[in-house]
């Protein structure tokens, strides 16, 4: 009778524990599987509630514990006896582990559940798209539409030139040459080769010898020459950007000026008198690039240059002979009565080129006249070069911009020889050797001799 009373009391105890949400620090699986096997014993006193229960939280195992009662003579009851008449252990555990409202407010569930395999793809796509957009926006910031178009250029970055071939193979035919810093338009890519169009040449260049895309934008600004071509009969270059500013100099139609800076409605340019400003209403702006030379163009150029050289040399010999006869027939002055006139020395070069340089220096001191062509009464810079070469049977245009395209390019001032035409922004002169030129400079100075590198040299052209 006494044992049955104890069991009933134990059952009541378990029910009380469930109703009062007695907290257990173990999982439902741990309790339901370990308690029955552990032989847990409870020491209960009649009418006395439990006060302590020991557990081990780290392993989830419930250790055998003691619930001490005030009555030392209380009977010992095994857990098996208790479970015979109590609720299932899982009922207690389920009640304990149920989340409280406070816990629910801290749980944040995503709106969309992305599988782990898809998360990587979504993340990579997001980074790729954002990075590409940010990168392009960063590069394009502050660029003009023309400069954005430089992304489609293919620019040679070599010591001399890269061959342009008929197909994407080193065994294919060479159809042209893309010289260092020369530019072509990108067409397509094939097996590490770029198909380009440059000038009259279309073909393939090896990708490793050129740059394109974003890299081409920066390089194009370095290798390209920004040009303002005069579209009015006579253009006034002013000291400041404004119609009321003083006139610095005059430039004829079709002349080409190097752009220093582009402002709102005005362009800063370089002329012989210095740097000034022109209204962009009277010029057309463009970026000038060196293009590829096709094989046919190279052969035609070499043949033309040779023919011109032969004809020029023949004409020059006649001119030299005529000059000699003229000097001999007019040399009536004796050494005692004649005045000595110093003539600048001319460095050795080709016979005809040296003759051109020597002939040009005799007009030093004569006046500069805008639009003039007279070596004695007045001439401007291109008129001076044109008139000197006319004396040797060579017809040249009366424009410094146009003279930048005559003859052949010698590859810079370091390769210049006497007689070569040295071209600047809006100005030209004749190289006489020793790092010097003779040129019709300004109205203030007339025809004079200057260091050839006194301004940025755009090109050096050779006739003889």
Distance from first CA to last CA of the chain, Å, rounded? 137
Residue 398 is a catalytic residue: no
Say if residue 260 is exposed, middle or buried (CB neighbours under 10 Å; 0-12, 13-18, 19+).
middle
Buried b (16+ CB within 10 A) or exposed e, 122-159: eeeeeeeeeeeeeeeeebeeeeeeebeebbebbbbebe
Contact between residue 69 and residue 6 where contact means Cβ atoms under 8 Å apart: no
The active-site residue out of 201, 381, 398, 423 is: 381
CB 142, CB 160: distance < 8 Å: no
Residue 459 CB coordination number (10 Å): 20
DSSP 368: B
Specify whether 381 is catalytic: yes
Contact 230/249 with Cβ under 8 angstroms?
no
Which token pair is 131?
């990075």
- Phi/psi of residue 74, nearest 5 degrees: -60, 145
On whether the CB atoms of residues 338 and 344 are closer than 8 A, the answer is no
Report d(CA 89, CA 451) in Å as an integer.
Answer: 106
DSSP 277: E
HEC profile of 180-247: CCCEEEEEEEECCEEEEEECCEEEEEEHHHEECCHHHHHHHHHHCEEEEEECCCEEEEECCCCCCCCE
Spell out the residues 6+ positions from residue 189 whose beta carbon is closer than 8 angstroms to its own.
195, 207
What is the C-alpha to C-alpha distance for residues 160 and 190, in angstroms, rounded to an integer?
Answer: 24
User: Tokens at residue 22, please?
Assistant: 């007695």
With tokens 């040779």, the residue in question is: 306
Active-site residue (options: 201, 398, 423, 439) = 439
Q: Strand order of the sheet with strand 153-156?
A: 210-211, 153-156, 183-190, 193-198, 201-206, 161-165, 174-179, 293-294
Q: Are 464 and 316 contacting, i.e. CB atoms less than 8 angstroms apart?
A: yes
- CA–centroid distance for 325 within its chain: 61
> Which residue, 138, 139, 147, 279, is CA-closest to 224?
147
Q: Which residue has the tokens 């299932």?
A: 88
CA-to-CA distance for 178 and 180, rounded, in angstroms?
7
Q: Which residues are catalytic?
A: 381, 427, 439
């Amino acid at each position: 009778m006494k044992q049955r009373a104890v069991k009933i009391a134990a059952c009541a105890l378990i029910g009380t524990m469930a109703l009062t949400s007695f907290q257990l620090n173990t999982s439902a699986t741990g309790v339901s599987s370990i308690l029955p096997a552990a032989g847990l014993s409870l020491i209960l006193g009649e009418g006395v509630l439990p006060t302590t229960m020991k557990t081990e939280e780290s392993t989830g195992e419930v250790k055998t514990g003691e619930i001490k009662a005030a009555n030392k003579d209380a009977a010992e009851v095994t857990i098996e006896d208790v479970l015979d008449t109590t609720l299932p252990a899982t009922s207690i555990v389920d009640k304990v582990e149920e989340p409280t409202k406070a816990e629910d407010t801290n749980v944040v569930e995503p709106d969309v559940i992305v599988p782990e395999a898809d998360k990587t793809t979504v993340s990579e796509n997001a980074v790729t798209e954002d990075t590409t957009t940010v990168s392009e926006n960063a590069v394009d910031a502050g660029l003009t539409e023309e400069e954005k178009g430089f992304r489609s250029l293919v620019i040679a970055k070599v010591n001399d030139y890269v061959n342009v071939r008929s197909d994407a193979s080193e065994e294919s035919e060479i159809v042209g040459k893309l010289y260092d810093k020369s530019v072509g338009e990108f067409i397509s890519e094939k097996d590490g080769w770029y198909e380009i169009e440059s000038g009259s040449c279309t073909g393939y260049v090896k990708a490793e010898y050129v740059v394109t895309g974003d890299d081409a934008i920066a390089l194009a600004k370095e290798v390209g020459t920004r040009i303002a071509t005069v579209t009015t009969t006579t253009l006034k270059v002013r000291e400041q950007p404004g119609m009321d500013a003083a006139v610095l100099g005059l430039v004829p139609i079709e002349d080409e000026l190097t752009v220093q800076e582009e402002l709102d409605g005005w362009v800063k340019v370089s002329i012989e008198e210095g740097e000034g400003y022109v209204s962009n209403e009277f010029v057309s702006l463009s970026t000038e690039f060196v293009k590829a030379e096709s094989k046919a163009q190279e052969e035609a150029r070499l043949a033309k240059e040779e023919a011109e050289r032969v004809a020029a040399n023949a004409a020059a010999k006649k001119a030299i002979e005529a000059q000699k006869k003229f000097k001999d027939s007019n040399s009536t002055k004796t050494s005692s009565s004649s005045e000595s006139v110093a003539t600048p020395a001319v460095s050795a070069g080709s016979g005809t080129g040296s003759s051109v340089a020597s002939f040009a220096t005799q007009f030093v001191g004569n006046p500069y006249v805008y639009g003039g062509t007279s070596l004695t009464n007045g001439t401007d810079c291109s008129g001076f070069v044109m008139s000197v070469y006319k004396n040797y049977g060579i017809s040249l245009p009366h424009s410094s911009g146009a003279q930048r395209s005559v003859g052949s390019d010698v590859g810079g001032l370091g390769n210049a020889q006497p007689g070569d035409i040295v071209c600047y922004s809006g100005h030209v002169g004749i190289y006489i050797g020793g790092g010097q030129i003779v040129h019709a400079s300004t109205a203030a100075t007339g025809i004079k001799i200057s260091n050839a590198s006194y301004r940025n040299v755009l090109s050096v052209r050779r006739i003889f």
